[in-house]
Amino acid sequence: MMQFIDLASQYQQLKEQINKRIKVVLNHGKYIMGPEVHEFEERVADYVGVKHTISCANGTDALQLAMMVLDIKEGDAVFCPTFTFFASAEVIAFFKATPVFVDVDEQTFNICPKNLEKQIEQVISCGKLIPKAIIAVDLFGLPANFPEINRIAEKFQLKTIEDAAQGFGGEIKGRRAGSFSDIATTSFFPAKPLGCYGDGGAIFTNNDEYAELLRSLRVHGKGLDKYDNIRIGMNSRLDTIQAAILLEKLAVFSQELQARNNAADTYTALLNENVIAPIIPQGYISSWAQYTVTTNTRDELLVKLKDKEIPAVVYYEKCMHQQSAFSELNYYEWNFPVAEKLAKQVISLPMHPYLKKSDIEEIANIIRQ
């Protein structure tokens, strides 16, 4: 059966290297914050092009740690797209700040700079909240429009957070995802472009003070050692076995990323007017966490793909402003027309580095029919 994300094939390719790495950890027994964690942080920082990588337990913790570093609190407004995974907005509310949702661009699915500026101006005009930060998500692997986002952030003196949970490996004019903002986060959930065999995450920054604070906060706010607690923190560490696995996956990540882009190019070349293929702006590279098309006949297509035992997934059927958890914010459906339209049209097709051309041709043939 065709796989939506084929982790088994990837493991068979890397089995010898991964097993060897895991065995080294089992022999030295340093399962928490072992040497592989520090090695991985250094290598990832070099890959992304930032001074500091601070690993943690998962992508949501990475966002929460970013909120703590930026001192997000009650009375603050943090702007984020409404078409995203729940964690992007959840972490804002977790610190009792107010998520202010923003519509998205119809072609890229990412936060719309024009609507972002409009929402910031409305919050300022209302005067009830203090605009504090922007969370921009690299949805489906494509970096958000950070040249415009950073311009807007500078105009209104806001901090920027890049949620690169899906975007690791993406680029804008040679710069890699994770390097575009004051602080960036990612996830190493198994299904991500760079994923481990459990949970994991990381924070990226060029700010030395942020990095020092993050290293303290991820271990209970430690000072000189774990029994010297100088602030309230959390327990969020990437375990050593996951770091060992990620080191071997990172070693082949560039080749896998190229394979993902080749698969995406094949999809786009074979699809017809029955769906709208993803659009990659000039100068951008997507990491293709998902290959997501839009269609007015999504339900029919889902049924036909299921009949042929081809997995397809809908991300995301319900926008953030429609979630029950945010009902008290009193958003109305007409506020975000593009996001609501996309939520009814998007469908993600199988995408991974080991996807066969014949599989893509089979999927494209069903869509053409």
Poorest-confidence range of 191-200, 245-254, 272-281, 340-349? Answer: 272-281
Q: State yes or no: pLDDT of 342 exceeds 80.
A: yes
Q: Assign 3-class secondary structure to the chain.
A: CCCCCCHHHHHHHHHHHHHHHHHHHHHHCCCECCHHHHHHHHHHHHHHCCCEEEEECCHHHHHHHHHHHCCCCCCEEEEEECCCCHHHHHHHHHCCCEEEEECECCCCCCECHHHHHHHHHHHHHHCCCEEEEEEEECHHHCCCCHHHHHHHHHHHCCEEEEECCCCCCCEECCEECCCCCCEEEEECCCCCCCCCCCCCEEEEECCHHHHHHHHHHCECCECCCCCCECCCCCECCCEHHHHHHHHHHHHCHHHHHHHHHHHHHHHHHHCCCCCECCCCCCCEECCCCCEEEECCCHHHHHHHHHHCCCCCECCCCCCHHHCHHHHHHCCCHHHCHHHHHHHCCEEEECCCCCCCHHHHHHHHHHHHC
The yes-or-no verdict on residue 90 having pLDDT over 90 is yes
For the stretch 207-232, pLDDT in tens is 999 999 999 999 999 998 888 999 99
Chain-centroid distance of CA 58 in Å reads 11
pLDDT of residue 252 exceeding 90: yes
Q: How far apart are CA 165 and CA 145, in angstroms?
A: 16
Report, as an integer, the average pLDDT of 37-63. 98
* Percent of the chain clearing pLDDT 90 (strictly above): 95
Please provide the average confidence, as pLDDT, over all residues in the chain: 96
The pTM assigned to this predicted structure is 0.96
189 vs 332, which has greater pLDDT? 189
pLDDT digits (tens, 9 = 90+) for 113-155: 999 999 999 999 999 999 999 999 999 999 999 999 999 999 9
> With 90 as the cut, is the pLDDT of residue 333 above it?
no
pLDDT surpasses 70 at 364:
yes
* Residue 227, pLDDT score: 87
- Stretch 290-305: mean pLDDT: 96
334 pLDDT higher than 70: no
